[in-house]
Amino acid sequence: MAQSCNRQYTYDVIVIGAGHAGCEAALAAARMGAETAIFSMNLDSVANMPCNPNIGGTAKGHLVREIDALGGEMGKCADKTLIQSRMLNTAKGPAVFSLRAQIDRRSYQREMKHTLELQENLDLIQAEIVEILAENNRITGVRSHLGTVYKAKTVILTTGTYLKGRIVVGDVVYSGGPDGLLPANRLSDSLKKFGIELLRFKTGTPARINRRSIDFSKMEVQHGDNTIIPFSFEHETIDREQAPCYLTYTTEQTHSIIRENLHRSPLYGGIIEGIGPRYCPSIEDKIVRFADKERHQVFVEPMGLDTEEYYLQGFSTSMPEDVQIKMIRSLPGLENARIMRYAYAIEYDCINPLDLKLSLEFKSIEGLFSAGQINGSSGYEEAAAQGLIAGINAVLKIKGEQPLILDRSEAYIGVLIDDLVTKGTNEPYRMMTSRAEYRLHLRQDNADARLTPIGYKIGLINEDRYKKFLMKQQSISKEIERLKSKTVPPSDKINKFLEKHASSQIITGIRLYDLLKRPEITYEALREIDDVMPDLPRSFAEQVSVSIKYEGYIAKQLQQIEQFKKMEQKIIPEDMDYNKISGLRIEARQKLSRQRPASVGQASRISGVSPADISVLLIYLNARWKRGGKQ
């Protein structure tokens, strides 16, 4: 039994914070059999989306797929609560196909909270954790605001933007968490006491408008896709009526209101000190930095089905209330807008991710893990991905097993964590497909092929799902083989088919496989000339098609991955004394000593470590391996 009555509780894993990182961490830990507790300051804010209630988008959609392939929850929960779904980039290639869904925020929260409540081995507890407890650089537990001590073998920090949260609206500044919630003011000091460096980041959230005051006729309407493609590999179809989103634009009037009131913006007035992300500047930032752009897009999106609140994406600001009203009312369709929640900027404490191992455990405190926005990332999906990995690794740690580390060639999750932990970040880090070197391999359609065997091995994918997965892989390769072996003759029927699809005609027989390689011929179209084509589910067909059409490029990328892995597999001993390697430049020596990379590959990605330093390091390691007689 985890709980006893002497105000002393003992858990395997304690998760501090029940946002997107915390929920995945807690569910993974509990599902792997660990006695787990997850704490939230307010149980009504579990899995909250204080910003835009949408999940997915480019690279983020990939993350959700990967979370699902490993046995995480976000994709399933999103599928159950989405109110609009679109596959983005369909014309731009399979590497960047990205699912994006508008979510009913409250339904998502209810769904996720209920999932936590129903989970075996998991306690969901409302309390503010104000202190972490450690002895001899090893975590021992946490203390709540009521003074209760919860002992734990491992602790995961998933505090989001709550630590010393500070809200800024114009010249009004107050201590607060996101979405009108309370901040967590005491935990920061406890972390500092253990020598953990804290950075100060900033982000912002736009205003919410009452639908009744919006004139949608002046806006462009954006509908969802006809067929909803689910995030989760466990869902084949979703049949649901979808809600539309809208698009409007800033006007010359908007721009002049902002320019006239710039002096009242805390960003320009110096009130905000935290580092905001380059990719999500406030609207006043955009007007100043891109002065020649005539208009900016503003997306008007529903917060849910049982609410009239609409979110203004692309219009985040920290201007004072009176300016906000003027700005918003200068947008076509929003002339009579009634604001329900004003936009605000929030500053918060986060840790320096360079202090973490690739397992997301702190280098300096054993058993203490950290995931999500506290690690300097941005976004629900980035947070959930880290939470899942931290949860898994907390349990593996207890079991005395090697941590799960996905590398840059295996998953976006690997790219995300490696970037944070190896390169650090000086702004909230957002996932982008251009950050992934092996993008054509890290597709959203094959996330299951890449990761489900791993999820199965660690125990988050059950036998039933794994069997289905294996069958899927089998029928995909069987179908590829079939297309390779079936040749069609240069008949009238075939050439008419080719003509219809604007494809060059054939004079000798050709394999269906080779026809499919032609960009203008789709897998579905082949059905017209292939009377024995099996009726594969959409997700199967997608993988068949992509594997064949992009075969050459994928093969090349796999070769590069092999090269990449060689350096990743050159492990650097944990006790490495870089000061003994006199060939290293001082800067490299300091960086390497501080970050203690796990492999030569990781070392090569540390900023300030040059290719010359890497060759010196390799020479040194080779000599050491030779002397030690082993690699």
- Taking CB under 8 A as the rule, does residue 39 contact another protein? no
- Taking CB under 8 A as the rule, does residue 286 contact another protein? yes
Task: Choose between 65 and 80: whose C-beta lies nearer to another protein.
Answer: 65
* DSSP string covering 428-457: -B---GGG-TTTTTS-STTHHHHHHHHHHH
252-267: b (≥16 Cβ within 10 Å) or e: eebbebbeebeebbbb
| 392: DSSP letter | H
Q: How far is the CB of 423 from another protein (least distance, A)?
A: 8
Residue in 609, 611, 600 with CA at minimum distance from that of residue 573: 600
Which residues, numbered 503-532, are part of the site for another protein (CB under 8 A)? 519-520
Task: Report the Cα–Cα distance between both ends of the chain, in Å, rounded.
Answer: 45
Residue in 283, 473, 450, 380 with CA at minimum distance from that of residue 81: 380
- Taking CB under 8 A as the rule, does residue 629 contact another protein? no
- Binding track over 333-372 against another protein, x by CB under 8 A: ----------------------------------------
Query: What CA–CA distances, in Å, run from 568 to 343, 390, 392, 581, 597?
Result: 44, 21, 21, 20, 10
Identify the residue among 40, 81, 144, 313 touching another protein (CB under 8 A). Answer: 313
- Taking CB under 8 A as the rule, does residue 223 contact another protein? no
Residue in 285, 130, 259, 262 with CA at minimum distance from that of residue 202: 285
Paired tokens of 68:
């699902």
* Alpha helices for 49-131 (secondary structure H): 60-70, 74-81, 105-118
Asked if residue 361 lies in contact with residue 392, where contact means CB atoms within 8 angstroms, the answer is no
Identify the residue among 45, 254, 433, 446 touching another protein (CB under 8 A). Answer: 433
- Binding track over 236-255 against another protein, x by CB under 8 A: --------------------
Which helix (DSSP H) or strand (DSSP E) does residue 547 occupy? helix 538-549
Q: How far is the CB of 89 from another protein (least distance, A)?
A: 5
Identify the residue among 4, 6, 136, 434 touching another protein (CB under 8 A). Answer: 434
- Taking CB under 8 A as the rule, does residue 610 contact another protein? yes
Identify the residue among 557, 595, 599, 602 touching another protein (CB under 8 A). Answer: 557
Q: How far is the CB of 227 from another protein (least distance, A)?
A: 19
Residue in 368, 372, 376 with CA at minimum distance from that of residue 393: 368
Task: Choose between 305 and 432: whose C-beta lies nearer to another protein.
Answer: 432
Q: How far is the CB of 62 from another protein (least distance, A)?
A: 11
| Residue 348 Cα to chain centre, angstroms | 19
Region near another protein per CB under 8 A, out of 146-154, 312-320, 352-360, 522-530: 312-320
Q: How far is the CB of 260 from another protein (least distance, A)?
A: 20
Planar angle of CA 131, 136, 139, nearest 5 degrees: 40
β-strand partners of 54: 102
Task: Choose between 292 and 535: whose C-beta lies nearer to another protein.
Answer: 292
Which residues, numbered 123-142, are part of the site for another protein (CB under 8 A)? none
Task: Choose between 217 and 434: whose C-beta lies nearer to another protein.
Answer: 434
Identify the residue among 71, 170, 204, 304 touching another protein (CB under 8 A). Answer: 204
- Taking CB under 8 A as the rule, does residue 288 contact another protein? no
Identify the residue among 138, 252, 290, 491 touching another protein (CB under 8 A). Answer: 290
- Taking CB under 8 A as the rule, does residue 404 contact another protein? no
Q: At which residue do the structure tokens 């309370």 appear? A: 182
Q: Are strands 82-88 and 54-56 parallel, antiparallel or unpaired?
A: unpaired
- Taking CB under 8 A as the rule, does residue 316 contact another protein? yes
Asked if residue 577 lies in contact with residue 620, where contact means CB atoms within 8 angstroms, the answer is no
Identify the residue among 88, 449, 510, 567 touching another protein (CB under 8 A). Answer: 88
326-339: b (≥16 Cβ within 10 Å) or e: bbbbbbebbeebeb
- Count of residues binding another protein (CB under 8 A)? 61
- Taking CB under 8 A as the rule, does residue 280 contact another protein? yes
Q: How far is the CB of 163 from another protein (least distance, A)?
A: 21
Task: Choose between 316 and 602: whose C-beta lies nearer to another protein.
Answer: 316
Integer Cα distance of 374 and 388 in angstroms: 15
Burial of 281 (0-12, 13-18, 19+ CB in 10 A): middle
Identify the residue among 4, 582, 628, 629 touching another protein (CB under 8 A). Answer: 582
| 479: DSSP letter | H
Identify the residue among 13, 29, 59, 483 touching another protein (CB under 8 A). Answer: 59
Task: Choose between 611 and 629: whose C-beta lies nearer to another protein.
Answer: 611
- Taking CB under 8 A as the rule, does residue 91 contact another protein? yes
Residue 266 phi, psi dihedral angles, 5° rounding: -60, -25
Which residues, numbered 448-507, are part of the site for another protein (CB under 8 A)? none
Q: How far is the CB of 124 from another protein (least distance, A)?
A: 30
Q: How far is the CB of 106 from another protein (least distance, A)?
A: 21
| Residue 614 Cα to chain centre, angstroms | 31
Integer Cα distance of 230 and 237 in angstroms: 6
Contacting residues toward another protein, per CB under 8 A:
51-52, 57-59, 88-89, 91-96, 98, 203-206, 278-283, 285-286, 289-290, 293, 296-297, 299, 313-316, 432-435, 437, 439-440, 519-520, 550, 553, 557, 580-583, 585, 587, 610-612, 616, 619-620, 623
